[in-house]
Structure 1
Amino acid sequence: VSNMSAKQEKCYDPRDSTLRFVDRDDELDILCEGFKSRRALMSCGHAVTPMSLTNWCRRLLDEGKSRFTCGQSGCDVEWPYSEVRKMALLTPEEMEYFEKALASNAIKDYFDAKSCPGCSTSVVRKETFNLRVRCVVCTKNGRRAYEFCWQCLKEWKGPAPRSDRCENDGCCNEPLKTLKNCPDIIFQSVTGVSGCPSIRACPTCGSLVEHDRTKCKNVVCTQCRKEFCFVCLKLSVECLKTSRHFIPCSSGVAPRQTSIPVWKKE
């Protein structure tokens, strides 16, 4: 958790000729805080203030993201850190926090690593089918095997190996729960499709993706940047060989997913 204290509101210099100022709402002011700075355009065309951009990007980092993407519905543009740093008017303290979080998240993302609940050391899971993971640091220091659950991040309880949960109270796979219980989507532009869940796990990396109901049936995953069909779950290039953007897929609607794909990075 960041220990950065709240500071005086950051505002753009109205004389800064490198910024594109607009008379529009702050499109990243999700909590309607009404920041007083003038609005300026990001490279994607959405209007922000330094405070709203800082808050949004910090939220992405706190969620474990290693990329900065626009928070507007339907906009999947990725902003380079250099743009975020300039447009958010990041302070030296904020830059230090952002850069450390970016590096940490990138390592955890690439190596499928999590922090051990016993010592906070990054641990890499070698067996993706097994939720029980051993921390070598805690095992060495405690002189006994220290194992924890990859899902609930508590000390392991119960038999192993298991891929669904451990025996700790409340241990459950929240993404799978979401996939199971989310309502069906009603497309506004895609015709002839029914019974399609409103949230899917990306078939490439497993990140949960929600369709905003507008435009075509293809979406781009903000995590791995792969484009896939929300209906049949094939990569778009495969789906479009036998179908089109706004009509049913030749293979029909893929059923609700009961497992999360594991990203096999090249």
Structure 2
Amino acid sequence: MNSKTKRYNLSDSTIRLVEEEDQFDFLCEGFDSPRARMSCGHVVTPMSLMKWCQQLLKQGKSRFVCGQSGCNAEWSYQEVCKMALLTPEEMKNFETLMALNAAAGNPNTKFCPGCMTPVTRGSSSNLYVCCQVCSAKTGHSFGFCWQCLREWKGQQPRSDRCENDDCHNSALKTLRECPEVKIDKVKGCPSVRACPTCGSLIQHTGIGCKTVICPRCKMSFCFGCLKSGYCGISDICSGGITPRQTFIPVWQRK
């Protein structure tokens, strides 16, 4: 379906069609479609709804809120997909932006692969996450892997991987396999480090001093010993070169 010609099907009994104005046609574009009522009671067309949700995603949102005056109702992703008549390509784009926005807003939140509902991780030492929404719908516990974002396979709890094929932590693999680099005459330092504050991966080319500033959380730390702040200009860190990291720090923002 071409997004420019999206129209509700008059024979679709699952959509509540109404003879009212499109309340989300903010630019008065006059979208050529019957009008329908959302779960919150406000009226949309497929195009006006899609444009409003795209605007929310551009603003860095990962959830869809009505936003009409006095209405803070949250629409489920499933409702947005249905009422905006999203194509498979549009859904893929939405889901990518939702995941990116959620990660930027809260590193402990990801989207359930079964229903695309935001789920907060309970423990950083367990990759198994239970989705309450999917569990309620299916009548049995539905869990997914925080690492590969697929339905969980194998025993749990586990902190390394689930039993899905090719389930691995790409960031840890980078930390494990990156080449060494010479920094401030200090040899044997891994060329990639996970920021000790937020966990973002940072690469050092060997040019410049040991102290770096994380572009994500803006914290400074020594690339050699991973201590926060300025480590000095000595060729050797006071605590020595910290070995390759074996876990990704989780940003505990306050």
Q: Deviations over 1:158-192 (max 9, x none)?
A: 111101000111001111111010000133xx12x
Q: Does 1:109 align with 2:104?
A: yes
Q: Distance in 1 between matches of 2:172 and 2:164?
A: 18
Alignment TM-score, normalising by the size of structure 1 = 0.58
5+ residue gaps, structure 1, are 5-91
| 1:257 aligns with one of 245, 249, 253 | 245
Q: Distance in 2 between matches of 1:106 and 1:180?
A: 28
Deviation at 1:260, TM superposition (A): 1.2
Deviation at 1:156, TM superposition (A): 0.4
Q: Distance in 2 between matches of 1:218 and 1:251?
A: 14
**Percent of residue pairs bearing the same amino acid type:** 49
Q: Does 1:231 align with 2:224?
A: yes
Higher Rg:
2
Deviation at 1:97, TM superposition (A): 6.9
Q: Which residue of 2 aligns with 1:177?
A: 173
3-state DSSP of counterpart to 1:200: strand
Q: Does 1:156 align with 2:152?
A: yes
Q: Distance in 2 between matches of 1:97 and 1:109?
A: 14
Q: Which residue of 2 aligns with 1:168?
A: 164
3-state DSSP of counterpart to 2:144: strand
Report the AA paired with residue 137 of structure 1.
Answer: V
Q: Which residue of 2 aligns with 1:133?
A: 129
Q: Distance in 2 between matches of 1:223 and 1:98?
A: 20
Q: Which residue of 2 aligns with 1:99?
A: 58
RMSD of aligned alpha carbons:
2.6
Q: Which residue of 1 aligns with 2:204?
A: 211
Contact 2:57 2:101 in 1 (8 A): no
5+ residue gaps, structure 2, are 4-50, 63-99
* Structure showing the higher strand proportion among its residues: 2
